[in-house]
Structure 1
């Protein structure tokens, strides 16, 4: 039996205060859904936890880890258990699956009661949120000394808040559009319009949709050459890599460069991290990701190299000989 002195504090530290626990029983005779299920209290969980090791997978605890000598003590806490069932204790957060829109509205009511418009974007607005999702909010106010971004927690939800006036919003959108990454446009055009006090929200949503549908500005010759040069340079590093770790690091950087180049050629919006992957998927550029995945799995870089060469050819070919950029005057 493990030494679990101060166990309740350990449970609170490891899992947070907003975890609920459930006892599930499955038939030993056949596979399928659970045949018994009931809630157990935090106190009950704390009392039985000394009998098993939950470090490997704390969200799914197999009661068969309990030694036979201690089984009677477990039943004293949980009550009689059916010997024909295999039992598991599962934990799940209690707060993250509460209505995120309501939580976002509370933020508005408490912090910005006089806001003109507010949008809730990201995975919450699309209904694909998870326990790790946050509330991405754009709030438009009338009088603001300066636009700002703020991160905080409300009712268990991490909040990423972008506060603007209409004018500062437009300034940021213009800058982001030039860079081909307009997160504010996406939040307003595709998110949930939570508040529209005076028609500002509807106007901003309509304008955002028009701008998104129009796509980014066409790439200039200079931008395209710069991107071709950067991709070519990393491709040469990849081909010449003789160290496995070096290969992985170069390939990771090249994945971003070639992915962005492919999107620029198609005149599509860009994105960082997971959003770059989603933009590539929308553009039917799955082979870039698939070939990179093959490299990471140890299948060799040849497939990834061939895909990069193909993207470069579509962009105008490799850019090496004759590339020159003058330094900006100081």
Structure 2
């Protein structure tokens, strides 16, 4: 969108606020003050965290560096959890405050909550939603809900600790555990009794461990499917058919490439991001060239390479018995 240029994180149109929240409790911030762009630029290099220009968790600063933070921002209250939030000066929506207000209103008995998605990743826009994982000890049943709060679309994932790990276990087998990513990579918004920190630590360990290795059967199924789609692409004479086959093929080949490397998968934009992280960006680039009408040769070559790393094409000799009824 046209306004994105003025929303660059370090642009002159950004405003920065230092907010302090009561430890282990939800609710509004105890303290809020504006900091200058110059102060933010002094503080930002001190963080041992992924580049996140929109939302910075000061609790990630190691104790040895804390005096450097206070030298720039002044004395800090040890009883507060501090965050720096950035937003365009002409965009009066604070996602962190909206998420905290929602927790306070809807889940006063929650023991832990994580804010994930594009807000936590520092890539949110005016059209982003708030992805919240909420842990409630006596929740009658896990549920997912979409709603709107203070102008923000919200995706709620509400669980007990037990139901959370049950869902994570099932999603892990499919190599697409969104809850695991949100708890491991998101911001811990609430931790009333240490539950949140325990979940975050275990989620990070599981994410680092990676998905279960692929079985021979799964690899053969994926090779066969990609081979079949590749043949359809090579033989396509209709440009529209070519585009539709290529769309399926970039997903199938991309997933196969990640499975071979025992990496996590993802849907849509997350599959693209996983491919970039795994140095498979050439598959995306070749697909883009095909879509732009620059021919399919490069894309075919890249898919052939993916198949080769998985054991090559698979056609004749492939057989699967129907499951018993």
Same fold (TM over 0.5): yes
Following TM superposition, by how much is the alpha carbon of 1:236 offset from its aligned partner in structure 2, in angstroms?
0.5
> Structure 1, unaligned stretches of length 5 or more?
1-32, 34-92
Match of 1:145 among 119, 131, 140: 140
Mapped contact 1:255–1:288 kept (Cα < 8 A): yes
Q: Deviations over 1:177-219 (max 9, x none)?
A: 0000011011001100000011100000000000000000110
* 2:43 equivalent in structure 1: none
Following TM superposition, by how much is the alpha carbon of 1:99 offset from its aligned partner in structure 2, in angstroms?
1.8
Residue 306 (str. 1) matches residue 306 (str. 2): no
Judging changes above 3 Å, is the alpha-carbon distance between structure 1 residues 329 and 96 closer, same or farther for their aligned structure 2 residues?
Answer: farther
Match of 2:233 among 235, 238, 244: 238
Following TM superposition, by how much is the alpha carbon of 1:306 offset from its aligned partner in structure 2, in angstroms?
0.6
Mapped contact 1:96–1:156 kept (Cα < 8 A): no
Structure 1 consecutive aligned stretches of length 4 or more whose deviation exceeds 2 Å: 93-98
Match of 2:162 among 163, 167, 187: 167
Following TM superposition, by how much is the alpha carbon of 1:145 offset from its aligned partner in structure 2, in angstroms?
2.0
> Take 2:258 and 2:195, find their aligned partners in 1: how far apart are those partners?
32
Residue 208 (str. 1) matches residue 220 (str. 2): no
Alignment of 1:280-299 (within 5 A): 280-299=275-294
Q: Deviations over 1:28-73 (max 9, x none)?
A: xxxxx9xxxxxxxxxxxxxxxxxxxxxxxxxxxxxxxxxxxxxxxx
Judging changes above 3 Å, is the alpha-carbon distance between structure 1 residues 220 and 97 closer, same or farther for their aligned structure 2 residues?
Answer: farther
* 2:117 equivalent in structure 1: 122
Greater C-alpha Rg: 1
TM-score between the two structures when normalised by the length of structure 2: 0.72
TM-score between the two structures when normalised by the length of structure 1: 0.71
* 1:75 equivalent in structure 2: none
> Take 1:96 and 1:288, find their aligned partners in 2: how far apart are those partners?
36
Alignment of 1:189-200 (within 5 A): 189-200=184-195
SS at match of 2:204: helix
What CA RMSD, in Å, does the superposition of the two structures yield over aligned residues? 1.8
> Take 1:231 and 1:328, find their aligned partners in 2: how far apart are those partners?
23
* 2:108 equivalent in structure 1: 113
How many residues were matched structurally?
A: 241
Judging changes above 3 Å, is the alpha-carbon distance between structure 1 residues 97 and 305 closer, same or farther for their aligned structure 2 residues?
Answer: farther
Q: Deviations over 1:206-263 (max 9, x none)?
A: 0000000000011000110111011001001001111000000000000000000000
Following TM superposition, by how much is the alpha carbon of 1:126 offset from its aligned partner in structure 2, in angstroms?
2.2
> Take 2:293 and 2:114, find their aligned partners in 1: how far apart are those partners?
44
Residue 255 (str. 1) matches residue 250 (str. 2): yes
* 1:132 equivalent in structure 2: 127
Residue 329 (str. 1) matches residue 313 (str. 2): no
Give the structure, 1 or 2, with the largest relative contact order (CA under 8 Å, sep 6 or more): 2
Match of 1:315 among 288, 310, 324: 310
Following TM superposition, by how much is the alpha carbon of 1:123 offset from its aligned partner in structure 2, in angstroms?
1.1
Q: Deviations over 1:94-139 (max 9, x none)?
A: 9965221110011101100000100000111122210111100000
* 2:77 equivalent in structure 1: none
> Take 2:262 and 2:300, find their aligned partners in 1: how far apart are those partners?
23
> Structure 2, unaligned stretches of length 5 or more?
1-11, 13-87
Q: Deviations over 1:5-29 (max 9, x none)?
A: xxxxxxxxxxxxxxxxxxxxxxxxx
* 2:98 equivalent in structure 1: 103
> Take 1:229 and 1:148, find their aligned partners in 2: how far apart are those partners?
37
